[in-house]
Structure 1
Amino acid sequence: MIEIETLFYQIDDFCQAFSPIFESHLLPHKVVKRKRKYKLSLSEVATIVVYFHCSGYRNFKDYYVKYVLKHFQLEFPKLVSYNRFVELIPSVLMPLILYLNTRKGEVTGISFIDSTRLPICSNNRATRNKVFEGLANWGKSSTGWFFGFKLHLIINDKADATQPPLYGDWNAHQEGELLSFQVTPGNVDDRVPVKDLVEELFGKLYGDKGYISSPLFQKLFEKGIKFITPFRKKMKNRLLPMIDKIMLRKRSLIETVNDQLKNISQISHSRHRSVLNFMVNIIAGLIAYTHQEKKPSLNLDHEEYTYLPSMLTPSESLLF
C-alpha cells in the first residue's frame, strides 16, 4: 500500500499547477459573494479521499472517524469534522479527474476492454431511489438484472518484450495499467462507448463476445485498431495468429482488474446520497488502483512470452 505522504506529495504537486489555471478560466460572478476559506487545502481533501480506497475500510465514515481523525493529526493538523469533510468532497471532483488523466498507462499496441456493473441500490428499492433519478437505469449482466451504471474500462498488457525478465520473473513487466474509462447508465450497450474509449489507441484490442459487431470492427480497423473477440457458435470460424489466441485466453486480466476495483478500491456501493460524491468515489478508486505497486498480471510462461512483439508503433500495429 502506498504511503500517505507519498500520495500527498504527488497530488499536491499536481494541485499547485492545477489551481491557478483552473481559477483563471472561471467565469466572474455578477454578484460578489463572500468566499469561505477552507481549513483543509484542496490537495489534503483529495489525498484523504483517495487514500480511503487503499485503506481496506468498507465505510467512509468509519475510515474518517476511526482512522483519519485518530492517526493523521500530525499529517493533517487542521482536520475538520466528518460532516464538514463530506461537504468538501465535491470540490475535488474536477482536479481528481484531471489528475487521473496524468496516471494513465502507456499504449503498447495490446489492449483489453470490458465493462462492469455499478448498482446503486438493491433491485427492490430501484423505483424509490431519488438520488439518481433520470440518470441510472436498468441493465443486465451475466449475473442478472441491476439498477445503476456501467463502468467501461480499457487497460494495457504492459508487456515490454524488449526488457529481460527480472530474476526469472516473467511477470515483471506485465501489469494492467488503465488507458481509458467511461461511466454510462446500466442500459447502454457495451459497444456504444468503444469509439470514444479508443481515441488514443492503436494495435490490437481484445474483448468478449458482447462486443461482436461487424460495423464496429470496420470502423476501428479504419482507425488502425484490430478488434478481436471470441467467435460465436454460428459464426464462421477463422484462423487466428498464435498471439491472438494467447491474448484471448488472457483476457480475464481485465476481469481481475474490475474485481479489484469493486472489492478492494470500493468503487461500488449502495450508500451514495449525492451524484457528485458518487463520481468522486469512482475517480478516487481508479486513482488508488493506478498507485498499486502490484497490479494483476498476464501470468505468461516462457513460451507464451516469446510470442509477444516489442512495443509497436501505430504504423506497425496491424502487421503482427
Structure 2
Amino acid sequence: MLTKDKEDKLIEIFIAADDFCQDFQRWLDTKPKVEFKVPRFEGRMEVSEILSIIVFYHYSGYKCFQYYYEQQVQTELTSHFPNQVSYKRFLQLISKSTVHLFAFSKWMTLTSEATSIYYIDSKKLPVCHNRRIHNHKVFKDIAERGKTSTGWFYGLKVHMVINNLGQIMSFTFTTGSVSDSNPEVLRTLLTKLQGNCYGDKGYLSRIFEELYEQGLKLVTKIRKNMKNKLMPLNEKYQMFKRGVIESVFDILMTVFDIDHTRHRSPRNAMSHMLGALAAYSFMDQKPSVWLPKLLQ
C-alpha cells in the first residue's frame, strides 16, 4: 500500500498535471489546428492521468516500468485512476503524450525562482556501450558520438541551467556531438535570465557580449593559454560552489534513472527522460547554495 507521503506526492503531481492540461488546452485553442497537430487520445484515460502515472513512476521505488504499472498502478492505484487501460495500450499512450510531457516539463520550470545566481552544465546520456555502436538500431540517425571529461560515448546530451536553490531554470536535449559552448544551445538555455551564470571553461563562448547586453554575465574558468584576471570575492565563492549542479545530475542519474541503455524506441526514451526532469521538480529538498551575508 502507498504510504501517506507517497500518496500526498501523487496528489500533488496530479493537481499540477491537471492545471497544466487546462492551461495547455487554452493555449491550443488560440492556435490554428492546421499548424499545431496534437495526437488524439482514444480511450478513457485523461492526459493528466497519463502524465501523473509517468512522473510518479520515479517516486514509486520501482526500477522497471512494466512491474510498476502492473503491480502498483493496476492494483494499489485503481481508486486513483479508475479508467485504466492495459499495459500495452498504456505504452501507446506514452508515445502520444511526448508533446504534452515536454510542455509539462517546461511548464514546471516556470515555478523556479529568478535568484540572479545560476549554474550551467551538461550531462552525457549514452544509449549503448561503445562496443555496440555499430550494432545499435534504436537511436540510429539520432544519436552521435561525443566526448566529455570521462571519455567518448555514443548518445545524447542534456544541457541544464539551475539556480542556487537547485531549481531547474531551463533545459534542452542535443546529440552527443554538440559542444557546451554552442551559441544556439546557450541562447535556448539563457534567454531572459539576468544576473550571473557560472560554468566550466567549456562554456567560454563568443556570444559573451550578447548575453552581457541581455543582463547576464557568464562567469567561467580560464584556459591555460589565457591571462589570469582578478575576480570579485562573491563570484570566486560561487565558482567554488559550481559543483551543486553535479549534485542535481547525480540525483537525476541515481534516483530518477534518467540514464539507461535499454530503451526500445526513441519516443518512449524521450518520455522517460522528460518524466525524470518533471519528477525532480517535485522534490521537497533540493541541493542548494546559500551566499554568506559577508559576500552579499
* Superposition TM-score, scaled by structure 2 size: 0.88
| Structure ranking higher in helix proportion | 2
2:202 matched to which residue of 1? Answer: 210
Residue 181 of structure 1 aligns to a residue whose secondary structure is strand
2:231 matched to which residue of 1? Answer: 240
CA deviation after TM superposition for structure 1 residue 112, in Å? 0.5
Contact preservation (8 Å) 1:116, 1:150: yes
CA deviation after TM superposition for structure 1 residue 131, in Å? 1.9
Q: Work out which of the residue numbers 192, 207, 223 in structure 2 matches 1:200.
A: 192
Matches within 5 A, 1:17-166: 17-19=23-25, 21-22=27-28, 25-27=32-34, 37-104=42-109, 105-157=112-164
The root-mean-square deviation of aligned C-alpha atoms, in Å, is 1.9
Letter paired with 1:114:
D
* Superposition TM-score, scaled by structure 1 size: 0.82
Contact preservation (8 Å) 1:242, 1:307: no
Letter paired with 1:261:
L
CA deviation after TM superposition for structure 1 residue 111, in Å? 0.7
What 5-or-longer segments of structure 2 have no aligned partner? 1-5
Q: 1:306 to 1:26 in 2, by over 3 A?
A: same
Count of residues in Structure 1 that have an aligned counterpart in Structure 2: 281
| Deviates further, 54-63 or 289-298 | 54-63
1:171 matched to which residue of 2? Answer: none
Q: Deviations over 1:18-41 (max 9, x none)?
A: 23543664239xxxxxx7731211
Matched, 1:189 2:179: yes
Letter paired with 1:183:
F
CA deviation after TM superposition for structure 1 residue 288, in Å? 0.6
Q: 1:131 to 1:71 in 2, by over 3 A?
A: same
2:3 matched to which residue of 1? Answer: none
Letter paired with 2:292:
Y
Residue 38 of structure 1 aligns to a residue whose secondary structure is coil
Q: Deviations over 1:234-256 (max 9, x none)?
A: 32111111111110000001111
1:274 matched to which residue of 2? Answer: 265
Residue 137 of structure 2 aligns to a residue whose secondary structure is coil
Q: 1:17 to 1:110 in 2, by over 3 A?
A: closer
Residue 133 of structure 1 aligns to a residue whose secondary structure is coil
Matched, 1:229 2:220: yes
**How far apart, CA to CA, are the structure 1 residues paired with 2:41 and 2:261?**
32
Contact preservation (8 Å) 2:192, 2:214: no
**How far apart, CA to CA, are the structure 2 residues paired with 1:10 and 1:194?**
28
Runs of 4+ in 1 over 4 A off after TM superposition: none
Residue 80 of structure 2 aligns to a residue whose secondary structure is coil
**How far apart, CA to CA, are the structure 2 residues paired with 1:188 and 1:235?**
24
- Identity fraction in percent: 39
Letter paired with 2:276:
G
Contact preservation (8 Å) 1:42, 1:92: yes
**How far apart, CA to CA, are the structure 1 residues paired with 2:131 and 2:214?**
43
Q: Deviations over 1:229-288 (max 9, x none)?
A: 123333211111111111000000111111111111111111212222122112111111
1:306 matched to which residue of 2? Answer: 293
1:258 matched to which residue of 2? Answer: 249
Contact preservation (8 Å) 2:17, 2:51: yes
Q: 1:25 to 1:262 in 2, by over 3 A?
A: farther
1:172 matched to which residue of 2? Answer: none
Matches within 5 A, 1:173-184: 175-184=165-174
CA deviation after TM superposition for structure 1 residue 216, in Å? 3.1
| Deviates further, 5-14 or 236-245 | 5-14
Contact preservation (8 Å) 2:55, 2:275: yes
**How far apart, CA to CA, are the structure 1 residues paired with 2:122 and 2:42?**
40
Q: 1:92 to 1:197 in 2, by over 3 A?
A: same
Letter paired with 2:193:
L
CA deviation after TM superposition for structure 1 residue 211, in Å? 1.3
